[in-house]
Chains A and B, each alone.
Chain A
Amino acid sequence: MIESGSIAIVGAAESTDIGVVPNVSSTGLAIDAAANALADAGLRASDIDGFTCGYFPVADMSSQLGIYPSWADNTVVGGCSWMFQLRNAMAAINAGFCTTVLIVYGESGKSTRGLTNSYDGGRPGSIGNQFDAMYGGGQPAATFTLPVLRYQQTYGLSDEDLAVGAVSQRAWAADVPRATLRELTTVEEVLSSPMVAWPIRRAMCCLVSDAGGALVVTSADRAKDMPQNPVYILGSGGALEGGLMSPAGVRDPLKPEFIRTSGNAAFSSAGITHADVDHLMIYDAFIHTPIFGLEGLGFVDYGEGGAFIADGHTAPGGSMPMNTSGGGMSYAHTGAYGMLCMLESIRQVRGDAANQVPDVTTSLCHGWGGFWSACSTFVFSNEQP
């Protein structure tokens, strides 16, 4: 086991611009964010001896930054790839393979500049290509969302209550200058937005954005000598389940085992309970994923997540502030949101979020990958146990 709090984030940054950035490629966004994270950590390229990225050949990216690492990882499981990479980096640092890791992400999802290496679950001959992609036309809004109707009918969640998730997150985004959508919205507006794949409407889907993000990770001991207040990693989890590009690969789509596996690992390795969590990020690729996350992670019982959000508990002023940047639906979502999801958790724990929640000590971040084939969970804190 890696001791809780023995690894820390000492640098964290997004690309200089996010949202619509037409003149920067995926690579450009990534190296821009990487340079920002290095500056945030007060480090130089030569201080980095471990390097990870996804979708790009590792040395292509590291060499452009003048980094020549002795340890690398290129794990790709979709949107939470950088969370898996962070977990691997913890293990590598713990094992002594390297001391300081730079985790790099960039995706020109909106402008598609140089976008040659996005997540590809549909390569010819793959399971996704043969048994999934043609039915949904490769449109995640029609496949990722397949459990929604079953959930609504099983637990009696109305369209109006479902729509509240988008309204709550917009209310958070209203105070976030870098958020793409900041005008307050209503249930009526969400339910009158264009139908994409019944019962899913456009306002229930994430944005498509350009953005990059990067993290610098090292041991808590080294972190003490660095300029930023360390963000300690108290615990982490990860799990994989479905192989299809949709929830058909999840054995019980209303009670997905992989969420529980990842969440349990994060809570037990962190040595905390749900009551210790001050702030929550759950990757909202679509409006339903925070519901399933709340339930799978055990914040509420199965069937209660929809009502929990509809009752305002996750909105500004609620008992469990969630997706406080505005999330994928209002802040930004490039295609793979896991890095941006973690960065908001880290800002909240550092105390420098645009929409800072008072007195945050501990934030939990949960991300998805590959249309529910993978997930990962992190517990971040500004206090070392």
Chain B
Amino acid sequence: MQGSCNQARTVCMPHPLIPVPTPETQEFWDGLTRSVFRIRECCSCGKFYFPPSPICSHCSSRDVRWVDASGKGSLYSYTIQQKPAQFWTTEGPRSVALVRLEEGPLLVSSVVNCEQTPEKLKLDMKLKATFEKFADVTVLCFEPLGETS
């Protein structure tokens, strides 16, 4: 894992862009390494929520469980960043997307395996989860549904 050492601090901190799991989110990150999108479902109110935490963000219940997400969603909105972070393995402009999951939550991601242009990235287009490397970490991305493998 790449990191940076800020001389003003007494300890070496990881680069702020590299995601660092916590015990509450480890299951999500472990899932990504197996190309599985794990999401939290509340057994009390039946809703899904994101980001993962031990308490339902809809009804505050602790009776929650990890399940495999459908991986399906749609493109709510996006920007196309001209100079993305160097940690991505691909070069060139890159979409930053708000994705509405089929399960309900809205999250930030990136639409990949698609030309990064306004002509190809259409609002409300159907998406499915895919998995990309950022530095040495597998992160959740999305790709057009049905257009690639």
CB within 8 Å of B: which residues of A? Answer: 116, 120, 122-125, 127, 129-139, 141-143, 145-150, 153, 194-200, 243-244, 246-248, 253
Q: Which of B87, B109, B110, B118 is close to A198, meaning CB atoms less than 8 Å apart? A: B118
Within 8 A of A (CB), among B94-118: 96-98, 106-110, 118
B77 at the interface (CB under 8 A from A): yes
Give me the 6 closest cross-chain CB pairs, A-B, nearest first.
A137-B85, A150-B77, A124-B20, A197-B79, A198-B80, A142-B81
Pick the most buried of A135, A141, A143: most chain B CB atoms within 10 A of its CB: A135
B77 in contact with A130 (CB, 8 Å): no
CB distance from B84 to the nearest CB of A (A): 5
Q: Which residue of A lies closest to B85 (CB)?
A: A137
B108 in contact with A143 (CB, 8 Å): yes
Complex CA–CA separation, A90 to B79 (angstroms): 40
Within 8 A of A (CB), among B111-137: 118, 123, 134
Q: Which of A129, A150, A194, A197 is close to B16, meaning CB atoms less than 8 Å apart? A: A129
Q: Which residue of A lies closest to B118 (CB)?
A: A198
Q: Which of B21, B29, B98 is close to A146, meaning CB atoms less than 8 Å apart? A: B98
Show 29 residue pairs from A and B whose CB-CB distance is below 8 angstroms, ordered by the A residue.
Answer: A120-B16, A122-B17, A125-B22, A129-B16, A130-B22, A131-B50, A131-B107, A131-B108, A133-B17, A134-B85, A134-B134, A135-B109, A135-B110, A135-B139, A136-B108, A137-B17, A137-B81, A137-B84, A142-B81, A143-B79, A146-B98, A146-B108, A149-B78, A150-B76, A150-B77, A153-B123, A198-B82, A200-B79, A253-B98
Pick the most buried of A120, A146, A244, A253: most chain B CB atoms within 10 A of its CB: A146
B18 at the interface (CB under 8 A from A): yes
Complex CA–CA separation, A131 to B21 (angstroms): 10
Complex CA–CA separation, A137 to B82 (angstroms): 11
Residues of B within 8 A of A248 (CB): 98, 106-108
CB contact under 8 A between A136 and B96, given known A130-B51, A195-B82: yes
Complex CA–CA separation, A142 to B82 (angstroms): 9
Given contacts A135-B97, A137-B81, A246-B108, could you give 20 more A-B pairs where the C-beta distance is less than 8 Å?
Answer: A123-B16, A124-B13, A124-B16, A130-B22, A131-B51, A134-B85, A137-B85, A138-B85, A139-B81, A146-B77, A149-B77, A149-B123, A150-B77, A195-B82, A197-B96, A198-B79, A243-B51, A244-B51, A248-B98, A253-B76
CB distance from B21 to the nearest CB of A (A): 7
Q: Which residue of B lies closest to A143 (CB)?
A: B96
CB distance from A244 to the nearest CB of B (A): 6
Complex CA–CA separation, A142 to B110 (angstroms): 11
Complex CA–CA separation, A153 to B127 (angstroms): 19
A133 in contact with B16 (CB, 8 Å): yes
B19 at the interface (CB under 8 A from A): yes
Complex CA–CA separation, A148 to B118 (angstroms): 13
Complex CA–CA separation, A138 to B87 (angstroms): 12
Complex CA–CA separation, A137 to B118 (angstroms): 20
CB distance from B119 to the nearest CB of A (A): 11
A147 in contact with B77 (CB, 8 Å): yes
Complex CA–CA separation, A129 to B134 (angstroms): 13
Complex CA–CA separation, A122 to B15 (angstroms): 10
Could you mark each residue 10-35 of chain B with 1 if its beta carbon is under 8 Å from any beta carbon of chain A, else 0? 00011011111110010001000000
Residues of B within 8 A of A196 (CB): 81-82
Complex CA–CA separation, A247 to B106 (angstroms): 9
Q: Which of A132, A138, A199 is close to B108, meaning CB atoms less than 8 Å apart? A: A132
B98 in contact with A125 (CB, 8 Å): no
CB contact under 8 A between A148 and B79, given known A134-B17, A135-B108, A135-B110: yes
Q: Which of B16, B19, B50, B80 is close to A138, meaning CB atoms less than 8 Å apart? A: B16
A124 in contact with B87 (CB, 8 Å): no
Q: Which residue of A lies closest to B116 (CB)?
A: A198
B20 in contact with A142 (CB, 8 Å): no
Pick the most buried of B18, B82, B93: most chain A CB atoms within 10 A of its CB: B82
Complex CA–CA separation, A194 to B81 (angstroms): 12
Residues of B within 8 A of A136 (CB): 79, 81, 96, 108
